[in-house]
């Protein structure tokens, strides 16, 4: 037991001296901790801070989230990406209010039944908010433990099972939440993916990868092939209003609003693609077509270059349920993907 105790004690001692001053670390409110942990999934700490502060100001309690309209939730999430997180958060808030009287459940089984509560979120909320001995595994924790144990190869579900089992032996009876945050902090600041600062690590003596000189090779990196897409976008005006349309309720960018357009076909110029897409998608002819900007947008494994044009419609289209003509200022009221939000900024500038 001595090595285990030594590891936990060393990690916590380092954390107490080196932890970053982050807004969600100033509270034990389970709701706010839940919000921060959901936002931090797939998103950097620096990117999350302003979103978290604005969110808890607009939605200070789980009741405020539960009664909010879906579009208000998505608008507040705009720019964070992975919008299914926001939709699941909204659904879970409504369930918590209806079935749990607004109190975040305190057991893994109860949390597991809520949308968006996987092993990581369950462990984070229970350990950090309630100091229950629940382990968590994110990219930072995974990297620290894989290096400690010299687990070669790529990170996968099988390795995560072993990591969870190992962490259950390491978790101290008290300060479980701090221990989990300490491991994440160590991975973020010291045991980094590239250029780990091993001489500042509080547990380098027990690190088998360090002893073998292979710490930078663990975990093995998987190369992701970016798919490059070119998309023509039309900012269509008619009587000083702009046409926007809502995406379907399924898929990565579900229920977000955007300007009409579509992918370039082989051999097409962006202008040709725009005319074809607007004719097919909106059912109108356009004129006074002017190229105003190109902007790159990244999501998952896609690199999308948006070729943006302003244009005039020769008349209002037959409106479909997912389309709207809105004023310039009203564009700010609709949740949009990052690429479309950049276009709105350009229009308003």
- 312 domain residue, yes or no: yes
Domain finish residue from 217, 244, 268:
217
24 closest CA partner among 47, 67, 56: 56
Q: What contacts 55, CB < 8 A, 6 or more positions away? A: 35, 39, 76
Which domain, by its residues, includes 160? 2-217
Residue 310 pairs in a beta bridge with: 235, 290
User: Do 211 and 231 sit in the same domain of this protein?
Assistant: no
User: Do 239 and 184 sit in the same domain of this protein?
Assistant: no
- Concerning whether 37 is annotated as a catalytic residue, the answer is yes
Please list, residue by residue across 326-339, b when 16 or more beta carbons sit within 10 angstroms of its beta carbon and e when fewer do: eeeeebeebbbbbb
Q: What is the CATH number of the domain that holds 285?
A: 3.90.79.10
How many domains does the chain divide into? Answer: 2
The token pair that represents 206 in the structure block: 């027990």
Judge residue 18's burial from the number of C-beta atoms within 10 Å of its C-beta, 0-12 exposed, 13-18 middle, 19 or more buried: middle
Among 60-74, 230-244, 252-266, 313-327, the minimum mean pLDDT is found in 313-327
- 9 domain residue, yes or no: yes
CA distances to 209, 262, 301, 306, 326 from 338, in Å: 40, 16, 15, 11, 19
The token pair that represents 81 in the structure block: 């990406």
Among 68-72, 89-93, 245-249, 306-310, the minimum mean pLDDT is found in 245-249
User: Do 155 and 303 sit in the same domain of this protein?
Assistant: no
User: Do 59 and 207 sit in the same domain of this protein?
Assistant: yes
Q: Which of 37, 185, 258, 277 is catalytic?
A: 37
Identify the helix (H) or strand (E) that includes residue 216: none
Looking at residue 1, its pLDDT comes to 45
User: Do 15 and 113 sit in the same domain of this protein?
Assistant: yes
Looking at residue 3, its pLDDT comes to 55
The pLDDT tens digits of the residues spanning 108-137 come to: 999 999 999 999 999 999 999 999 999 999
SS3 content of the chain, % helix, strand, coil (to 5): 50, 15, 35
User: Do 184 and 123 sit in the same domain of this protein?
Assistant: yes
């Amino acid at each position: 037991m001595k090595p285990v105790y030594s590891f936990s004690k060393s990690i916590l001692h380092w954390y107490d001296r080196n932890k970053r001053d982050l807004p969600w670390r100033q509270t034990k409110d389970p709701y706010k901790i839940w919000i921060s942990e959901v936002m931090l999934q797939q998103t950097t700490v620096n990117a999350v801070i302003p979103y978290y502060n604005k969110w808890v100001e607009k939605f200070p309690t789980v009741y405020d989230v539960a009664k909010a309209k879906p579009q208000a939730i998505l608008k507040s999430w705009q720019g964070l990406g992975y919008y299914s997180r926001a939709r699941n958060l909204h659904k879970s808030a409504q369930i918590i209010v209806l079935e749990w009287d607004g109190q975040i459940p305190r057991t893994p089984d109860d949390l597991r039944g809520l949308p968006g509560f996987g092993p990581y979120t369950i462990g984070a909320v229970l350990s950090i908010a309630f100091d229950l001995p629940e382990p968590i595994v994110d990219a930072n924790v995974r990297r620290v433990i894989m290096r400690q144990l010299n687990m070669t190869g790529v990170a996968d579900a099988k390795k995560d099972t072993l990591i969870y089992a190992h962490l259950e032996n390491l978790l101290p009876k008290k300060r479980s939440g701090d221990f989990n945050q300490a491991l994440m902090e160590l991975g973020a600041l010291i045991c980094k993916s590239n250029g780990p600062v091993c001489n500042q690590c509080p547990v380098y003596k027990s690190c088998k990868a360090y002893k073998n000189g292979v710490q930078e090779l663990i975990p093995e990196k998987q190369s992701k092939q970016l798919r490059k897409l070119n998309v023509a976008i039309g900012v269509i005006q008619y009587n000083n209003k702009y046409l926007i349309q809502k995406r379907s309720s399924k898929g990565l960018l579900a229920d977000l609003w955007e300007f009409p357009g579509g992918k370039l076909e082989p051999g097409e110029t962006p202008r040709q693609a725009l005319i074809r897409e607007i004719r097919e998608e909106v059912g109108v002819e356009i004129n006074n077509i002017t190229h105003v900007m190109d902007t790159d947008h990244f999501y998952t494994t896609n690199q999308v270059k948006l070729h943006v044009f302003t244009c005039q419609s020769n008349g209002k289209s037959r409106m479909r349920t997912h389309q709207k003509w809105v004023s310039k200022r009203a564009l700010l009221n609709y949740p949009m993907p990052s690429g479309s939000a950049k276009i709105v900024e350009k229009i308003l500038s």
